[in-house]
Structure 1
Amino acid sequence: MRRLGGVLAAAVLCGTAAACTNTPPPPLVPKSEAPVITTTGPKVTEVVVGVDDVAGGYNPHSYAAQSPITTALSSLLLPSVFRPGPDGAPQLDRNLMVSAKVTKAEPFTVTYSIRKDASWSDSAPIAAEDFYYLWQRMRVEPGVVDPAGYRLINNISAREGGKVVEVSFGKPFPGWRSLFANLLPAHLLKDAPGTWSNVLSTNFPATAGPFQVRSLDEPRGEVVLERSDRYWEVPTTLDRVVIRRATHSAMAESLSKGDNQAALLRADAADVNLLKAVSGVTTKSVPRNEVVQVLLRPASEQLRDVKARKAIVASLDRDALIASGTQSGPSAQYRADSYVVPPSRTGYQPTITGNTLDPAAAEQLLTEAGYAKNGTEWQKDGKPLKLRIAAPEKAEPYVSLANRVKAQLQERGISSEVVTPNAEDLFSKQLVEKDVDIAVVPRVDAGDSAAGLASTYGCAGDAPDGATLSPQNPAGFCDRAIQADVDAALNGKVLLSEALARIEPQLRDQAVAVPLFQVVDLLGVLPTVSGVDTGAPLAGVLSEAPEWRRLDK
């Protein structure tokens, strides 16, 4: 009775309290029947790709930033007028462009019509100022990839609110389709503090593609890209692409557990076997757009004499360098026996035969160059021959190969030291000045081999308006005897193959470069995804990410 009385009293109090409000009291719900509150939303469909590194910067136009992650991010986040097709030939990107065509022969003029709905992620239109900004920077900045085509441009004008761009050239340029790839957001960069080296150094200030950056955490080694709501074309199939740094053994483990769906790594023979051992994984070779080379710089005081350069080449065991750099991985099948065209490109013709090592010739050439053997070292005017070999900091296989070059030269009595400055300092300063004798660096293919020839081996010249001296090539090389052929190939007066037949033997005689091999990555893919493949030639694996699908979701 006491318990019943307590219940009735509580009921009276509750009723009285309820009478003081406009709403009835909540119903009493047994604990076992209480609703479950959840915070999980729709399941995210994503593909996780393991990579060697995600380190910046991310400017695809800078030698210092060349890497698979730069290629991957620029292909998804930056707009390009043309993109490589399945055969490597440039195809107009109609997601960005209405048209692009030659509209006048004299002066040579190309007119670009940009889609009116194409815009950056901050809603600014993609327009003529983006073309203008890239042109201005590419023709005057040191350490940029293939600037020769941009240096031919005389003027850029615009109409229809900047959506129609007219580019006039001083000379014909058949390779014009290679220009204006990976446009940059000029409205954010043109007045930004700092220099060209800061452009895309840590992130993307604005993007214009099917994906946008959700997070870019370099210390953690992870980049998360998500479907862009501002993209004006068909949205991506996936919600998200995650690019995650890992060791090779961790990549294999993640694939075996299904945590990763793909892996892209610079592999040796052991890594090839490691991925092949993972159940269900398909592996393919993916050539990068870079060829490893040893540059002997005529700009250097000690290597100004061609006999000295020839002696250095004769002191190098090229076959051993290639074997050391490739480690029997996928790159071993892409030996670079040409000074200009990469092995994976259409038009590649081997012109270098045999090994370079010839100790007797090296001694004779050094003697003819004025050096004498004093004990175990070579000297001239009482000073030892000591060379400075540079490679970009922490970049492989370049640093390891620089040390191999040092060891080979030491065997011939030639002293040297290896320095590894950060990539930006190396390409923008040290290779512009004269304090590096030898550089183990990439030669990058930006899409047009004639422009690559002119950018790598052409003489420096004035900018089109005569205001600024165009930066020299990385070797500081200029040979007026071949310049006419270089210009003729660039302007389309002769076929590139005809020009190279005359130029490459002269490059060999000038001993300015020793090409080694094209860097080739290994792609491993699980059957739980479709569309993850090698991509168009030199475009990178992630260039096709908008079409990727998860089959297990």
Structure 2
Amino acid sequence: MKKSLRILALAISSTLLGGALVACQASPGPAPVEEVPETTQQTTQLESTTTMSVEPEDEIEQGRSTVNIGIDPLRNGFNPHLMADDAQVVRDISELVLPSTFDNGVMNTDLLVAANVVAPSSSAVAQTVSYTIAQEAQWSDGTPITGSDFEYLRRSIVDTPGTFNRAGYQAISAIRTSGGGRTVAVDFTTPVEQWQSLFNNLLPSHLLLSQQDGFRTSMFDSIPAAGGRYMVRSIDRQRGMITLARNDRFWGARPAHIELLTFHEARSTSRAGEFLRTGQSAFMNLRPTETLVDTLSLVPGTEVRVSDTDRTLEVVLNTRSGAMGTAKRRAGVLELIDVPLTARLAAGRSSELSVAAETEYVVADDVDKQELTATTPLRFAVDPADDQAVAAGRTVVDMLAAAGIKAVTVPTDVASILAEGLPAGDLDGVITRTRNTTDSLSLLERYGCDLALSGWCEETTQDYLEQVLAGDIDFDPDWARRLNAQQALSLPIITENRVEARTGGIVGPAGDAAAWPGGIASAPNWRKNDTEQ
């Protein structure tokens, strides 16, 4: 077994060396290939996690610059477009590995030469956006990045329940390519003012198309090719480790400085502190615990910061359910939930806890409690891989029981919840993570017909959202709160926050240890601090 592993490691090293030599050439690489590159693999060693080393011995060559990063335990897969996979580490790795057309509204000049709205291709088209991909842009296996990757992402998001930005991709009627696939024209059936938020985190279509249900399942243990500054080298779930290697085929002007990034699970507060104290980690991005901030702050030379994210744990009720079909009943259920208590019990802590703002429902006072107690047990779906959602579900069930309302939790995967349970009305609600952004695409996804988790569909709502989507009217930032107050569609519980900690072992883009825009996503700009011992 050990001999086989050495042979495999030698083959991988040879492949990486070959890729590095090719990257020095001016050409964009060989023609597309269908094989998954050997540089991405799943490690299956069954070592005890109690003796986990931060650096995987068989993967990290001596002398290569390496930074170790502490992360939360791995939960689901690594597809940034799936709600089921959404997690901070997935977002961070996607930023490092996958190419995007725009970053925070600014065009990615490594990937694109130009991107702008042009004259519609016909009278039946409301808007056309043209993208020109850089000739040098390529995946880490040498395959050019083309319009095929745009089309694959669009079709996959539209066809898969539980995806992000679905509203924007559904507005696309056609994607046309020319110039060897490097010029991409996207036609929309309705104007989309925020079109820059589409086609981010492109995926290698040439490797996923041939796999059955590749979009939903093939990235559970890998991202098979990279178009960013790093590439996934290995994912070892048994040891809780992910290794990224610098993508030597990256064609852009600013390749990464650090050669290897190793992510390792910090499975307890004490372990996280020990990793920083002994120098085994230089950076961490973790979910808070009761004592995490205090523990990390005590480590000499460590700076700690806490910040909120755009993810919220909330109870979403299903308007397609017979029991939850009226605003009065929905409000009656949600008003019985003690949000601060649910937040504490779900998170398992009181410190560094961002409890969601109080929600008041205008119809709650008119609820007939006998209506609620007479219904069959309410069914709330939870993702069993999300421990906070599971704990919140149990708490909600107990609170409703105290009011005489029977309820149960239904553990099932997110895809089944969204594709089957909610649309069929078999579930009365779901306790899940949502993104609380207020851009037009997110709002349409949250409250638009055929898209909303809650099943909410109303003509005036749809008309308003489509006008906001097209940029015909200004968005009212208080609109969503008013709608929820009137219709009692959801109850936010916790706004997810993160704890970041860094030592002096790395410095930011200007050589300043205080320069950390973007956290882990800024890793390509990091440098080792040679003065830090």
TM-score range, shorter chain: 0.7 to 0.9
Q: Which residue of 2 aligns with 1:478?
A: 457
Shift in CA distance, 291/535, structure 1 to aligned 2, threshold 3 Å: farther
Say whether 1:528 aligns with 2:505.
yes
Distance 1:386 1:67 in 2: 31
Higher relative contact order (CA 8 A, sep 6+): 1
Query: Where do 1:273-422 residues align within 5 Å?
Result: 273-325=294-346, 327-332=349-354, 335-337=355-357, 361=365, 364-367=367-370, 370=371, 378-380=373-375, 385-422=376-413
Alignment match, 2:181: 162
Q: Deviations over 1:211-261 (max 9, x none)?
A: 112211112110011111111123211111000012221111110011111
Secondary structure at the residue paired with 2:378? strand
2:508 is the alignment partner of 1:505: no
The equivalent of 1:66 in structure 2 is 86
Cα distance between partner residues in 2 of 1:440 and 1:197: 21
With over 3 angstroms needed to count, the CA separation of the structure-2 counterparts of 1:527 and 1:258, relative to structure 1, is: same
Distance change >3 Å, CA 55–CA 504, structure 1 → 2: closer
Matched ranges for 1:171-186 at <5 A:
171-186=190-205
Instruction: Return the alpha-carbon distance in structure 2 between the equivalents of residues 305 and 366 of structure 1.
Output: 13
In structure 2, relative to structure 1, the CA distance for the partners of 1:43 and 1:418 (3 Å cut) is same
Aligned counterpart in structure 2 of residue 431 of structure 1, from 416, 422, 445: 422
How many pairs does the alignment contain? 461
CA contact (8 A) 1:282 1:526 kept: yes
Amino acid at match of 2:115: A
* Residues 43-94 of structure 1: CA deviation (Å, up to 9, x unaligned): 221111111113431111100101112111111111100112xxxxx21111
The 10-residue stretch of structure 1 (287-296 or 425-434) with the greater mean CA deviation from structure 2: 425-434
Given that 1:534 and 1:541 are in contact with CA atoms closer than 8 Å, whether structure 2 keeps it comes out as no
Partner of 2:521: 543
Aligned residue identity for 1:61: H
Matched, 1:451 2:414: no
Match of 1:517 among 494, 519, 522: 494
> What SS does the aligned partner of 1:71 have?
helix
How many Å separate the matches in 2 of 1:222 and 1:517? 28
Contact 1:156 1:168 in 2 (8 A): yes
How far does residue 306 in structure 1 lie from its aligned partner after superposition?
2.3
The answer to whether the aligner puts 1:126 opposite 2:145 as a matched pair is: yes
Pick closer, same or farther for the CA change 1:422–1:506 going to 2, 3 Å.
closer
TM-score relative to the length of structure 1: 0.78
In structure 2, the partner of 1:141 is 160
- Name the SS of the counterpart of 2:96 in structure 1: helix
Aligned counterpart in structure 1 of residue 96 of structure 2, from 76, 79, 95: 76
Are positions 1:49 and 2:69 aligned together? yes
The CA deviation string for residues 307-357 of structure 1, in whole angstroms up to 9 with x for no partner, is 21111012112233344445344442xx544xxxxxxxxxxxxxx656x79
**Quick one: distance in 2 between partners of 1:61 and 1:245?**
23
Deviation at 1:177, TM superposition (A): 0.5
Gaps of 5+ in 1: 1-39, 85-89, 338-351, 372-377, 461-471
Equivalences for 1:457-496 in 2 at 5 Å?
Answer: 457-460=447-450, 472-496=451-475
Residue of structure 2 in register with 1:349 after alignment:
none
Partner of 2:52: none
Mapped contact 1:238–1:546 kept (Cα < 8 A) = yes
Shift of residue 431, structure 1, vs aligned partner: 3.4
Label 1:534 to 1:434 Cα distance change in 2 as closer, same or farther (>3 A).
Answer: farther
Q: What is the alpha-carbon distance in structure 2 between the residues aligned to residue 517 and residue 483 of structure 1? A: 28
Cα shift at 1:166: 0.6
Please state whether the residue corresponding to 1:109 is helix, strand or coil.
Answer: strand
Decide whether aligned partners of structure 1 residues 394 and 273 sit closer, same or farther in structure 2, where only a CA change above 3 A counts.
Answer: same
Alignment CA distance shift 1:448-1:152 (3 Å): farther
Whole-Å separation in 2 of the counterparts to 1:41 and 1:223: 15
Query: 1:41, CA displacement in angstroms?
Result: 6.9
Query: What residue number does 1:95 align with?
Result: 110
Q: Retained in 2: the 8 A contact 1:145–1:444? A: no
Q: For residue 173 of structure 1, what is the amino acid of its counterpart?
A: V
Identity of aligned residues (%): 27
Contact 1:55 1:218 in 2 (8 A): no
Distance 1:191 1:533 in 2: 45
Among 242, 251, 272, the residue aligned to 2:262: 242
Give the match's secondary structure for 2:368.
helix
Deviates more, 1:299-308 or 1:236-245: 299-308
Q: TM-score, normalising length from structure 2?
A: 0.81
Partners of 1:389 and 1:493 in 2: how far apart? 38
- Displacement of 1:473: 2.4
Per the alignment, residue 39 of structure 2 pairs with none
Query: What SS does the corresponding residue of 1:75 show, helix, strand or coil?
Result: helix
Query: For 1:76, what is the secondary structure of its paired residue?
Result: helix
